[in-house]
Amino acid sequence: ICNISRKQTRSESHYFNSFVSRTKTCGELRSCHVGQEVTLCGWIQYQRHGLFLVLRDFQGLTQIIIPQDEVRAGKKMPTGDIEVKAKTAEVLNSCKKLPFEIKDFVKKTEALRMQYRYLDLRSFQMQYNLKLRSQVVMRMREYLCNLHGFVDVETPTLFKRTPGGAKEFVVPSREPGKFYSLPQSPQQFKQLLMIGGLDRYFQVARCYRDEGSKSDRQPEFTQIDIEMSFVDQAGIQCLIEGLLQYSWPEERGPITTPFPSMSYAEALASYGTDKPDTRFGMKIVDVNDIFKSAELGFLQNALNMPQGTIQAICIPQGAVSNSIIILVTLVKLNVQKECFKNECVLLISLPDGTLKSPVSRFLNEKQKSDLIKAVKAEVDDLVLLAAGEHMEVCSILGKLRLETADLLEARGLALRDPAAFHFLWVVDFPLFLPKEKNPVELESAHHPFTAPHPSDADLLYTEPAKVRSQHYDLVLNGSEIGGGSIRIHNAKQQRFVLEAVLKEDTELLSHLLEALEYGAPPHGGIALGLDRLICLITGASSIRDVIAFPKSFKGRDLMSNAPDYIVPEELEPYHIQVAWPTAQAEVKTN
């Protein structure tokens, strides 16, 4: 790397050049600067026979001529109008052969990028992503702090275990047998701050979640964490819409508010998911009425089930040439894998307005034509018909909708505008869900502090399973980027939910329950997942591309090789020892 200098003249531009010896970055020289003497610092991107070189820094590239005779070469870069003729040059450091070139189009494996992350960070794309992230967060802070009087409060990360906190990392303390936990969110603290009268809190909060190996998840992640007193759901939604509008990067075009809103029930019925990608159609269509008198056994069976239903989606051009084979395989795989209790059949819309299918002979003409009408099928469209339990049928069709959309796009069909940003509020979630392992018992759909929907408050004590909540999710292009709720502020109601409905041991939460008894104000909040949001804004293919030093999907840092073994003496102050699995223990002792 190099310090190219002609004469020490300070530039007026102090934005990037304050406090350092350069007078210009490698990105800012233009023809208007011709004749000036400048000092540049950067890395040699390219050099040729001692004739000229290209200097790179975090702002761009500049061509440097090593004077011998008049060389002129117009380069295709923003600074291409000028060349800097070197007067003096100082080599500040040397560089051994790089494991990969610092050029965006040079392909390298993710493992190699992670091992040499500090070199990977020199790429234009990584620097762009990190700078954009920094700018978006700064704008969010301006909006919250400077425009709306929020107080940025830091909350602890060494905390107490939360009930059911199976995904919390533990941190041994120096007191034998006692552990801190790294919390998954500042949920308790943000509520305690409202009880403490702080009125409006936010934090760009580091959170922790130990999920073992999960792709595109990180053991530590960041959320924009917000809580307000005396607020309702509409207030929080309005705040967030303003926040995103204010912080949205100009180069991604404006976003319009308010965002559309959809109930959880509608999202499930129309998109088979609680985070619909509304950038394209292919909605799920209820066709129960069409097949009320169907003779097909599996349709009849579905209609006789308590939550039975028949639903369809139409895949445009899904039956064209070879894609049909892929789709059929896909459907079979999914149906087998996901849910053997449900059935799913394929029907192809023919040019003569009829449907081709192994089951078509069991359907009468009216049913077929009604179905074509209901899903608006055109020639060569593919209709998927699924029957079974409502939630499962919708979920399967929702997944197939997304997978087939990917397939259709891979084939060249323009389904989703890659530059479009579709925000959506999903509201009116159920407050409780049946436990998967024991459906007679209930668990919180989100967390036990969520307030019931005002219209359903009385149901809480009679039919809790029917209570809707004041939870809201924010969805962007089919990804959940945030979620929050109005919280329970009444101590008795909170105790009833924890003890009577959820059968939780409240001991771990006794401080919060007591706090609610001291005049807790009505309050609510939200958290936005920053990594995911920035990933969607930048169009990065993974959240690892918007994090400076991410972990691998196994939770490892491939650069430093963390986590790592440590010597037993270093565990002694914490009164813990490793419980080696037997096989490994033997290897260790050998």
Subset of residues 557 to 586 that bind a copy of itself, contact rule: CB under 8 A: 557, 559-566, 570-581, 584
Q: Which of 196, 317, 334, 409 binds a copy of itself (CB under 8 A)?
A: 196
Q: Confirm if 219 and 169 have CB atoms less than 8 A apart.
A: yes
Q: Give 102-161 as a DSSP string.
A: S-TTS---HHHHHHTHHHHTTSHHHHHHHHHHHHHHHHHHIIIIIIT--EE----SSBPP
Q: Which residues contact 28 (CB under 8 A, 6 or more apart)?
A: 13, 16, 59, 60, 79
Contact between 589 and a copy of itself (CB under 8 A)?
no
Contact between 163 and a copy of itself (CB under 8 A)?
no
Beta strands in 316-368 (DSSP E): 343-349, 355-356
- Which of 28/274 has CB closer to a copy of itself? 28
Q: CA dist 394 to 103, 348, 350, 473, Å?
A: 45, 20, 26, 19
For residue 525, the minimal CB distance to a copy of itself (Å) is 11
Q: Which of 439, 454, 521, 539 binds a copy of itself (CB under 8 A)?
A: 521
For residue 78, the minimal CB distance to a copy of itself (Å) is 17
The closest of 346, 361, 363 to 300, measured between CA atoms, is: 363
Contact between 111 and a copy of itself (CB under 8 A)?
no
Contact between 27 and a copy of itself (CB under 8 A)?
no
The residues facing 343 across adjacent strands are 387
Q: Taking CB under 8 A as the criterion, which residues in 32-71 touch a copy of itself?
A: 41, 43, 56-59
CA–chain centroid gap for 259, Å, is: 18
Categorise residue 503: left if φ over 0, alpha if ψ from -120 to 50, beta otherwise.
left
For residue 174, the minimal CB distance to a copy of itself (Å) is 6
Contact between 77 and a copy of itself (CB under 8 A)?
no
Number of residues that bind a copy of itself (CB under 8 A): 135
For residue 80, the minimal CB distance to a copy of itself (Å) is 21
- Which of 122/411 has CB closer to a copy of itself? 122
Q: Which of 19, 70, 105, 590 binds a copy of itself (CB under 8 A)?
A: 19
Contact between 231 and a copy of itself (CB under 8 A)?
yes
For residue 169, the minimal CB distance to a copy of itself (Å) is 5
Q: Which residues contact 336 (CB under 8 A, 6 or more apart)?
A: none
Contact between 147 and a copy of itself (CB under 8 A)?
yes
- Which of 145/320 has CB closer to a copy of itself? 145
Residue 395 C-beta-side C-alpha neighbours within 13 Å? 11
Contact between 265 and a copy of itself (CB under 8 A)?
no
Region from 14-22, 272-280, 326-334, 405-413 binding a copy of itself, contact rule CB under 8 A: 14-22
Distance, in Å, from the CA atom of 401 to the CA atom of 410, rounded to the nearest integer, reads 14
Region from 65-73, 177-185, 291-299, 469-477 binding a copy of itself, contact rule CB under 8 A: 177-185
Q: Which of 111, 166, 414, 419 binds a copy of itself (CB under 8 A)?
A: 166
Q: Which of 145, 303, 328, 374 binds a copy of itself (CB under 8 A)?
A: 145
Q: Which residues contact 424 (CB under 8 A, 6 or more apart)?
A: 259, 260, 261, 262, 276, 278, 474, 475, 476
Tell me which DSSP letter residue 452 carries: B
